[in-house]
């Protein structure tokens, strides 16, 4: 038996959306997990609901733990605090499993299908998604008129100013795919219910600049951030048909409305991708049964962790749909997504943000994925392949909370 003896949560004020979970066992191993958004609520769920049951359980029984944590009476399928808590714990248990056997998580899952996977760069900046509390677009950083770039990878500002030059910069570093969201600023005026022709033209301009600058040498994804109702989303997707985007991501403000999403898909030639916002295999089963998406995206810190994610990956494979793990949140979820992407047969991309990889991700964990010529390499270290940087727990703004067996 490998009994769970401690559950520890770590948060820092500088990154208020992030929460890390460390699980210790009687054999002296520590597993690391992570989730994002609603960190205070997730912390409460972990210590008040999860820890009293988890402490004393056998950490090797990952499926049993997942089944218990992923089916509370309320809260899971909307990816609420219970779902985020379950995700973080599950990632930590898989990290433990790899460390226990001296193998990387992708091997513990059943082995890698590939030794590297193509990266696409989400063109966020250094402080993107770092706001404090709120919901919807309020979580994400907006670009102000005349704002100066704070470094070479302030890519959100770059795509609003000269998307063509940004594409050239990415190609020079080996990236062959990128994601931008120029339509977001036009959603607020009508609550996402309408977009004018002039706004549509302005939103299309970065895509046209990319094609003018680099032709077809780079794939471009359009992110709509669940900001639009059906009619506006249809108009945007049809307009994007002429610029050949690889996908439109999360086009509707209710990505669990599979009927509306399937109707949108029937009305456009633009491929649809969804959705990082969904949690649990059942939600994705409904999405796929409705033939509502062309590409399946999931977030390992929200969907239920690796245990639930590999079930979602199996559903995607059964429906012959490609898979693309999400990352625009934290470094541990990125590691978990990478292991899934290496293992899942239909995975085609791992999302990365070069701005965070080059800066604050390095301050939080000991190791980050290696990218060569636009391809993310398979790690060989046991477990996830990383740990919290020792300096994190010594920060002045850190908040650590522990629940102990017998404590």
Give the separation between CA 359 and CA 354, rounded to whole angstroms. 9
pLDDT at 237 (0 to 100): 98
pLDDT digits (tens, 9 = 90+) for 7-55: 999 999 999 999 999 999 999 999 999 999 999 999 999 999 999 999 9
* Ramachandran area for residue 325 (φ above 0: left; ψ -120 to 50: alpha; else beta): beta
pLDDT digits (tens, 9 = 90+) for 254-312: 999 999 999 999 999 999 999 999 999 999 999 999 999 999 999 999 999 999 999 99
pLDDT at 141 (0 to 100): 58
pLDDT at 70 (0 to 100): 85
Give the separation between CA 249 and CA 181, rounded to whole angstroms. 10
The answer to whether the beta carbons of residues 236 and 248 sit under 8 Å apart is: yes
> Per-residue pLDDT averaged across 324-343, rounded?
97
pLDDT digits (tens, 9 = 90+) for 363-399: 999 999 999 999 999 999 999 999 999 999 999 999 9
pLDDT at 131 (0 to 100): 63
Q: Which residue has the tokens 């977030």?
A: 299
Query: Is the per-residue pLDDT at 318 higher than 80?
Result: yes
- What are the helix (H) ranges across 55-113? 62-69, 81-101, 105-108
Q: Give the pairing type, strands 398-404 and 4-12.
A: antiparallel
The answer to whether the beta carbons of residues 332 and 302 sit under 8 Å apart is: no
Closest CA to 221 of 240, 201, 199: 240
The answer to whether the beta carbons of residues 335 and 20 sit under 8 Å apart is: no
Query: Is the per-residue pLDDT at 108 higher than 90?
Result: yes
> Per-residue pLDDT averaged across 237-265, rounded?
97
Helix (H, G, I), strand (E, B) or coil at 269: coil
pLDDT digits (tens, 9 = 90+) for 46-100: 999 999 999 999 999 999 999 999 886 665 555 689 999 999 999 999 999 999 9
Q: Categorize the per-residue pLDDT at 155 as very low, low, confident or very high, splitting at 50, 70 and 90.
A: very high
pLDDT at 71 (0 to 100): 80
pLDDT digits (tens, 9 = 90+) for 133-149: 444 444 455 676 668 88
Query: Is the per-residue pLDDT at 132 higher than 60?
Result: no
The answer to whether the beta carbons of residues 341 and 325 sit under 8 Å apart is: yes
């Amino acid at each position: 038996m490998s009994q769970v003896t401690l559950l520890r949560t770590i948060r820092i004020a500088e990154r208020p959306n992030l929460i890390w979970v460390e699980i210790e066992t009687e054999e002296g191993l520590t597993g690391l997990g992570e989730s994002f958004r609603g960190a205070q609520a997730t912390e409460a769920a972990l210590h008040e609901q999860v820890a009293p049951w988890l402490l004393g359980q056998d950490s090797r029984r990952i499926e049993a733990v997942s089944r218990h944590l992923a089916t509370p009476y309320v809260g899971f399928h909307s990816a609420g605090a219970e779902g985020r808590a379950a995700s973080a714990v599950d990632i930590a248990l898989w990290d433990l499993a790899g460390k226990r056997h001296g193998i990387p998580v992708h091997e513990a899952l059943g082995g890698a299908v590939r030794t590297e996977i193509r990266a696409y760069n989400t063109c966020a900046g250094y402080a993107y998604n770092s706001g404090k509390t709120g919901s919807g677009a309020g979580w994400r950083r907006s670009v102000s008129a005349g704002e100066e770039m704070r470094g070479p990878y302030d890519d959100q500002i770059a795509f609003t100013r000269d998307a063509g030059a940004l594409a050239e910069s990415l190609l020079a570093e080996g990236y062959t795919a990128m994601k931008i969201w120029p339509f977001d600023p036009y959603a607020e005026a009508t609550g996402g219910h309408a977009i004018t022709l002039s706004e549509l033209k302005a939103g299309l301009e970065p895509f046209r600049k990319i094609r003018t600058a680099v032709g077809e040498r780079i794939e471009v994804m359009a992110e709509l951030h669940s900001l639009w109702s059906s009619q506006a989303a249809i108009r945007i997707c049809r307009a994007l048909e002429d610029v050949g985007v690889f996908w439109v991501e999360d086009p509707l403000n209710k990505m669990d409305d599979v009927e509306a999403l399937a109707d949108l898909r029937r009305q456009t030639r633009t491929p649809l991708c969804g959705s990082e916002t969904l949690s649990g295999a059942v939600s994705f089963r409904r999405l796929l049964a409705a033939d509502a998406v062309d590409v399946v995206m999931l977030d390992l810190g929200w969907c239920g962790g690796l245990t639930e994610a590999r079930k979602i990956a199996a559903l995607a494979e059964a429906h012959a749909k490609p898979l693309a793990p999400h990352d625009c949140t934290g470094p541990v979820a990125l590691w978990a997504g990478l292991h899934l992407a290496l293992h899942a047969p239909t995975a085609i991309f791992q999302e990365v943000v070069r701005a965070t990889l080059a800066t604050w991700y390095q301050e939080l964990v000991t190791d980050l994925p290696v990218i060569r010529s636009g391809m993310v390499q398979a790690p060989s270290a046991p477990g996830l392949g990383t740990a919290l940087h020792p300096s994190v727990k010594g920060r002045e703004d850190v908040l650590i909370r522990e629940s102990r067996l017998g404590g």
